[in-house]
Structure 1
């Protein structure tokens, strides 16, 4: 009876622990869900020139790369840094934010300057090009995944080490399934439209044709949203980690943005929350654009001018 009593007590403790971990996982996932929008918007642009039969396999490869990013690279690094070098986390995030801002600004620069890559026919994408495409998507995912995991980690910072580890592993899988499930649905929507258009029902045919016509525009919009998301997330990472919630090195800009966001939130009535968020997002995107433009200028424009000067001197 004493043994059974001890077992019952241990079972109760285990159940309570599972409940606590589940609740903490829910909070962490909800807190990190805002970045899911950015990740979901960024990824489909990598699939615009891919043959239909290769879309899902590539999404699968990117999703596997995303899980690897979260579990193999980000999770151990985040846990170790939070345990032993917590002051280094904001620096790592700012490096990632700068890279995201650079990627977004570079896409805009290519569009303005006319140096954007030519659209490749879906049947012409080679295995090497596909491998390069997946690597680029996984590299971008690394930055967004890092923010997701660090946000989740911050939400459960008071938990024990093993509880944090368990929660973050669950968050990694849940977020990845949500993001790439949505991405897969987006990129295959035109195929669904074709199937519907082949049915006998008039409604199915109309719906299918509408989906087929709409998807190129939807993907074009998603590409723009993805570029803006890179600037927005990169700028937000820089603002927050330079400001009051990060290192506190340069608290002025973030405090100013956050103060005005609160003013808008409190003074705009029912739309206050949405307008405040839009203001914060706009400021973050502007910061991302400025920082990204500086990096683009350093990496592209200055070397080009130097090369042009050398060539003119040689002539």
Structure 2
């Protein structure tokens, strides 16, 4: 009898762990777009910091990110228990923010004058020439800014995860949220630490006495800025896809339209499987760009109205 109870308990545990693994995989896929942007954004956050201080800065932001998750995970569970209807509006708000931020990144060059961009570049150069005392102040501002940005992106990741596991049992929700929160934090900042040190590794190897290491080092020096550019572009695309996808799936009419369009595309020719994937992806992307453009335009109008009001 005791043996049967033990086997039943082990079977229940195995079932719960399997559910957690499956739902964690689903949540990870849904948050991958935000993860890509989080990775690119945090890698950019350490620009302007002296090489020997890059890893300490990444470590400080990592600890701040963990604190963000400690705040956000219990808050998400309270929402799930007491006001579950708030999950969809929060998802839509987060999706809209992603679309806005993605569109703002695309049009940043046109929204900011050449003079402003030149001033930003000169400010970065001046930061590298600062004294130790000034550099501490600069690093502190960098870290605080990165942690604030991480809080927004972490909130988006937690909200998307909560939406993915909303129908699961409470214990499964808690476990999946903890797995995603910890896994994403370690993954993102581990990769950021590696990315920011690629150029240092390339410089070290390029000074080696062995030709192969020299060639590999020079290749890393060439690849480092290209990787940063790729991450920036991929992160921006992901913001439109994830943000647009959240909005499309949160509005029943658009969701049904996307599904029916994907089904219709899947019935066409020999490329049916590819079309069935590309069509809804394209709809999500168009929705993301459209919403982002509208929000950026409204934001610019609001800023100009505010500026004109202050000048009077």
Q: Distance in 2 between matches of 1:44 and 1:11?
A: 48
Q: Distance in 2 between matches of 1:214 and 1:99?
A: 31
Q: Is there any run of 5+ residues in structure 1 with no aligned partner, and where?
A: 244-250
Q: Does 1:52 align with 2:51?
A: yes
Contact 2:266 2:273 in 1 (8 A): yes
Task: State the aligned residue count.
Answer: 297
Q: Is there any run of 5+ residues in structure 2 with no aligned partner, and where?
A: none
RMSD across aligned positions (CA): 3.2
Q: Does 1:201 align with 2:210?
A: yes
Q: Does 1:85 align with 2:86?
A: no
Corresponding residue for 2:62? 63
1:86-130 deviation line (CA, Å, top 9, x unaligned) = 111111122222222222222333311334652313615844443
Q: TM-score, normalised by structure 2?
A: 0.79
Q: Distance in 1 between matches of 2:51 and 2:269?
A: 46
Contact 1:28 1:171 in 2 (8 A): no
Q: TM-score, normalised by structure 1?
A: 0.78
The secondary structure found in structure 2 opposite 1:106 is helix
Higher alpha-carbon deviation: 150-159 or 26-35: 150-159
Q: Distance in 1 between matches of 2:305 and 2:175?
A: 52
Per the TM alignment, residue 271 of structure 1 is displaced from its structure 2 partner at its CA by 8.0
Residue pairs, 1:77-226, within 5 angstroms = 77-115=75-113, 117=117, 118-119=120-121, 120-121=124-125, 123=128, 126-157=135-166, 159-226=168-235
In structure 2, the CA distance between the partners of 1:282 and 1:12, relative to structure 1 (3 Å rule), is: same
Contact 1:97 1:143 in 2 (8 A): no
Q: Distance in 2 between matches of 1:295 and 1:86?
A: 27
Corresponding residue for 2:19? 24
Contact 2:91 2:160 in 1 (8 A): no
Contact 1:24 1:167 in 2 (8 A): no
1:254-296 deviation line (CA, Å, top 9, x unaligned) = 32233333444554757835x5544444433333333333333
The secondary structure found in structure 1 opposite 2:107 is helix
Contact 2:244 2:289 in 1 (8 A): yes
Q: Distance in 1 between matches of 2:244 and 2:149?
A: 15
Per the TM alignment, residue 207 of structure 1 is displaced from its structure 2 partner at its CA by 0.9
Q: Distance in 2 between matches of 1:67 and 1:172?
A: 8
Corresponding residue for 1:43? 42
Corresponding residue for 1:238? 247
Per the TM alignment, residue 209 of structure 1 is displaced from its structure 2 partner at its CA by 0.5
Q: Distance in 1 between matches of 2:98 and 2:181?
A: 20
